[in-house]
């Protein structure tokens, strides 16, 4: 087996952002795509609702921008918003050219509406849009001779000149990454440009709509390399995930409420009109907090999503996948209200970048959910995420395709000397569960100064234990993920402690009002 490889472009992650970037860069050089699972194990493939873009004459880019800025609670970067939103129409058209089978009526693209959107502008493929987009983007990547896929390989850390002692003056430079093989060996992949497209960090919470791979790997690797992170306190909780204590959580797409489904309590009472004039169509942060408040007030484990009044024909036509998955566990969306609970869904913060994914380290780029461009501000507008992934991938590829970074130095192999075989693995299981429980109990939808202090103390102790274990024993995927998860959890808490107000997705009982001036929370590695 080879211990070292060299490529022009190394892409870590294979969701929409990673695959789109790979297809764009393959015409300019050799591309490696590293994916720690199957191609279908990404948040892209789990996305149900769709992708937002202005595709109707009654809509406008300015309206989409206005909706995004309003949802972002004053924290959006308007230049990033305009740059990304203005490309929505063309990106959707390009996805169609790739073969994405969006729904249409008599040849006209069918658009749906989701919470906080003022128009119907969501292109979708039934209720499995992410899968349709992922399959369309995967096809040209799978058969491209310029693209090498490393499936079931997990990135351990990026390699920088500073870490190798070759950093003197000017910006640091990324040289590639160490990658764990399925056999447990660590290989070296050198690259002129490295792109982190690893998705979010939903697994830091007990309830999440994210796949198991969403452990914050890209954010953690970039932080350890020296990149600042921004607005990590803003975790979007999807209001309507299936409450299923005996099985996995399933997201129930926002499009259900967009088509008219109600949120109710056990008595059938609609409660959202008590919280916002837009009722079920209010922004996600308002809806999630309302559900959380009703659960706490009533001492209930869950609320309900009721779509029965939409009619069997509409449910079967527009939500066949959700209908079938619920039927598989004995729930008929056509005949009964579905128990739901808010669950961690999307990381609005991330590694601080521009819209092309550039970081503070030369040759290191971060795109998609791992990045923070300022598009989402303090709360993501529904279905802007796939759009951001694809626009960032395109702009990133354009910015680096013609950039000559010079020859790569010879990189040292992974040093595993001094490690000792494991005698037991209970510590990994214990730390994993404790991180997720701590985050869910103390750093959830509603926060307080005392809860955050408690979380920070516990997480600091856990991270010290993990660090000791990491350097003493052979590494595996679960240990790497645990290391990343603990770091990202701590960054979320520290960012939350820095924000002495309530804004968007961050609600504090000790600071319930918003400050007059919105400011980003930026943490740099040296400050910790």
Q: Tell me which residues are annotated as active site.
A: 284
**CA 335 – CA 322 distance, rounded (Å):** 14
- What single-letter DSSP state applies at residue 205? S
Other CB atoms within 10 Å distance of the CB of residue 352? 23
Neighbours of 174 (CB within 10 A): 29
Q: Where are the alpha helices (DSSP H) in 329-425?
A: 385-401
- Using DSSP's 3-state secondary structure scheme, residue 446 falls into strand
Distance separating alpha carbons of residues 433 and 449, to the nearest angstrom: 23
Structure tokens given for 427: 């510590």
Contacts of 521 (CB under 8 A, 6+ apart): 230, 231, 232, 233, 349, 495, 498, 499
Q: Which residue, among 23, 21, 22, 14, has the nearest Cα to 44 in the 3D structure?
A: 14
Strand runs labelled E in 69-201: 104-105, 108-109, 111-112, 122-123, 147-151, 154-160, 174-180, 186-196
Specify the residue for token string 């820095």.
498
Taking the C-alpha atoms of residue 392 and residue 351, their distance in angstroms, rounded to an integer, is 13
The three-point CA angle 137-138-139 to 5° equals: 95
Burial class (CB in 10 A: 0-12, 13-18, 19+), 389: buried
Residue 17: strand, helix, or coil: helix
Candidates 132, 176, 114; CA nearest to 16 is 132
Burial of 145 (0-12, 13-18, 19+ CB in 10 A): exposed
Half-sphere exposure for 491 (CA within 13 Å, toward CB): 34
Work out the burial of residue 96: count CB atoms within 10 Å of its CB; fewer than 13 is exposed, 13-18 middle, 19 or more buried. middle
Q: What is the residue whose two structure tokens read 């300019």?
A: 28
- Output the six-digit token pair for 186: 């660590």
Using DSSP, how many helices (H) and how many strands (E) does the chain show?
15, 22
**Which of 52, 36, 24, 199 minimizes the C-alpha distance to 123?**
52
Strand partners of residue 352: 372
DSSP result, 369-396: GGEE-SSSTTSPPTT-HHHHHHHHHHHH
């Amino acid at each position: 087996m080879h211990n070292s490889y060299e490529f022009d472009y190394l892409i870590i992650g294979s969701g929409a952002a990673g695959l789109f970037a790979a297809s764009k860069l393959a015409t300019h050089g050799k591309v490696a795509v590293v994916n720690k699972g199957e191609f279908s194990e990404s948040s892209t493939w789990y996305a149900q609702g769709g992708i937002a873009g202005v595709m109707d004459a009654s809509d406008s880019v300015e309206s989409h921008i206005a909706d995004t800025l309003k949802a972002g609670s004053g924290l959006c970067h308007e230049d990033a918003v305009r740059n990304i939103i203005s490309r929505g129409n063309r990106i959707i058209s390009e996805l169609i050219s790739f073969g994405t089978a969006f729904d249409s009526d008599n040849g006209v693209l069918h658009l749906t509406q989701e919470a906080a959107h003022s128009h119907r502008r969501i292109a979708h493929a039934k209720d499995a849009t992410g899968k349709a987009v992922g399959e369309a983007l995967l096809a040209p990547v799978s058969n491209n001779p310029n693209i090498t896929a490393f499936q079931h390989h997990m990135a351990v850390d990026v390699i920088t000149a500073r870490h190798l002692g070759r950093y003197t003056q000017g910006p640091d430079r990324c040289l590639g990454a160490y990658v764990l093989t399925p056999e447990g060996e660590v290989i070296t992949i050198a690259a002129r440009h490295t792109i982190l497209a690893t998705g979010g960090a939903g697994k830091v919470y007990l309830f999440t709509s994210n796949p198991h791979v969403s452990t914050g790997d890209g954010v953690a690797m970039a932080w350890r390399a020296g990149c600042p992170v921004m607005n990590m306190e803003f975790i979007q909780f999807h209001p309507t995930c299936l409450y299923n204590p005996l099985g996995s959580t399933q997201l129930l797409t926002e499009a259900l409420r967009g088509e008219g489904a109600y949120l109710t309590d056990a008595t059938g009472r609609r409660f959202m009109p008590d919280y916002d004039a837009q009722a079920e169509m209010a922004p996600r942060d308002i809806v999630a907090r309302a559900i959380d408040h009703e659960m706490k007030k009533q001492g209930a484990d869950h609320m309900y999503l009721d779509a029965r009044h939409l009619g069997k024909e509409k449910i079967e036509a527009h939500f066949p996948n959700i209908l079938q998955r619920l039927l598989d566990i004995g729930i008929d969306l056509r005949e009964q209200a579905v128990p739901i609970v808010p669950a961690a869904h999307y990381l609005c913060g991330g590694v601080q970048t521009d819209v092309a994914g550039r970081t503070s380290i030369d040759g290191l780029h971060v795109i998609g959910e791992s990045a923070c461009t300022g598009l989402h501000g303090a709360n993501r507008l529904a279905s802007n995420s796939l759009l951001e992934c694809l626009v960032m991938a395109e702009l990133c590829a354009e910015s680096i395709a013609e950039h000559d970074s010079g020859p790569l130095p010879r990189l040292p192999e992974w040093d595993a000397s001094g490690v000792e075989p494991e005698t037991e693995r209970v510590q990994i299981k214990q730390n994993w569960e404790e991180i997720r429980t701590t985050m869910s109990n103390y750093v959830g939808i509603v926060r307080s100064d005392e809860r955050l202090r408690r979380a920070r103390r516990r997480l600091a102790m856990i991270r010290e234990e993990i660090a000791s274990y990491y350097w003493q024993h052979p590494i595996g995927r679960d240990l790497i993920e645990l290391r990343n998860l603990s770091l990202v959890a701590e960054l979320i808490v520290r960012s939350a402690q820095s924000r002495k107000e309530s804004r968007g997705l961050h609600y504090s009982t000790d600071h319930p009002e918003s400050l007059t001036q919105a400011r980003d929370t930026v943490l740099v590695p040296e400050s910790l």
